[in-house]
Every structure is written in C-alpha cells, then in structure tokens.
C-alpha cells in the first residue's frame, strides 16, 4: 500500500515539470501558506500542476517522508524539491522563481 503511494508520488513528480502539493486548489486554497505559494506560482504566468493533499490522505501521509520535508505546500520543479512556502516566496521576491518556472516549462514543450 505504501509503495503504491510512493510510486504514485514519483509518477506525479516525473510527469509534471512544475508540481505543487498543497491544501486545496490554487483557486480555492485551504490554508494561507498554500494560498501564498500558489499565488506566487500563478504570478510566474505558466501552467502548473497541483495535488490537493486533503483529497489524497495517502500522499499527505507519505510525501513528507519521501521528500524529507515535513510541511505543505511543497513545490517540485523538474523532479527536484524546491521547498515550501517561505522558500517559494523568497525566490519569487528575489526574481529567482520566475526563470526557474519558465525554464521548466520551456524544456518540457
């Protein structure tokens, strides 16, 4: 059961160049941190995938162990964990997130 969840996580991460694990959805976030993180991503102007961990309790349980990152949201770009809300916002404010996102989208087209 746990391996299935890990496989599902790996598949999601490999299939989506930009993936946000969050509570709720970008349009209806269920927590402030998820809201801020998805806003910053949306401001980059590219499409991104998301997984609502409230709808996926198995992923919510296993992803922190797999990622070695205890909290949500989690942003993954090109298979690498970028980080959580603080890191996302800091990168956005410093202008580092936008090129990272654009590059990830460009490479997958």
- pLDDT tens per residue across span 55-68: 999 999 999 999 99
Say if residue 64 is preceded by a cis peptide, omega within 30 of 0: no
- What are the structural domains of the chain? 2-98 (3.40.30.10)
Residue list, annotated binding site: 23, 31, 60, 72, 85-86
Helices 2-15, 57-67: axis angle to 10 degrees equals 80
**Per-residue pLDDT at 92:** 98
For residues 104 and 41, give the distance between their C-alpha atoms in angstroms, rounded to a whole number.
12
**Per-residue pLDDT at 63:** 98
Residue list, annotated binding site for glutathione: 23, 60, 72, 85-86
**Per-residue pLDDT at 2:** 80
Indicate the pTM of the whole model.
Answer: 0.95
> How many residues appear in the chain?
109
**Per-residue pLDDT at 107:** 74
Residue list, annotated binding site for [2Fe-2S] cluster: 31
Residues of the chain with pLDDT below 70 are 108-109
Order of strands, sheet of 18-22, starting from the edge strand that comes earlier in the sequence: 49-52, 18-22, 74-77, 80-83
């Amino acid at each position: 059961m746990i391996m299935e969840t890990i496989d599902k996580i790996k598949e999601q991460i490999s299939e989506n160049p930009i993936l946000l694990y969050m509570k709720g959805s970008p349009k209806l976030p269920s927590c402030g941190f998820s809201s801020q993180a998805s806003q910053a991503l949306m401001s980059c102007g590219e499409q991104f995938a998301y997984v609502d961990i409230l709808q996926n309790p198995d992923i919510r349980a296993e992803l922190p162990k797999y990622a070695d990152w205890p909290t949500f949201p989690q942003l993954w770009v090109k298979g690498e964990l970028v980080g959580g809300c603080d890191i996302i916002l800091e990168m956005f404010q410093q202008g580092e997130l936008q090129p990272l996102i654009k590059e990830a989208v460009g490479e997958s087209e």
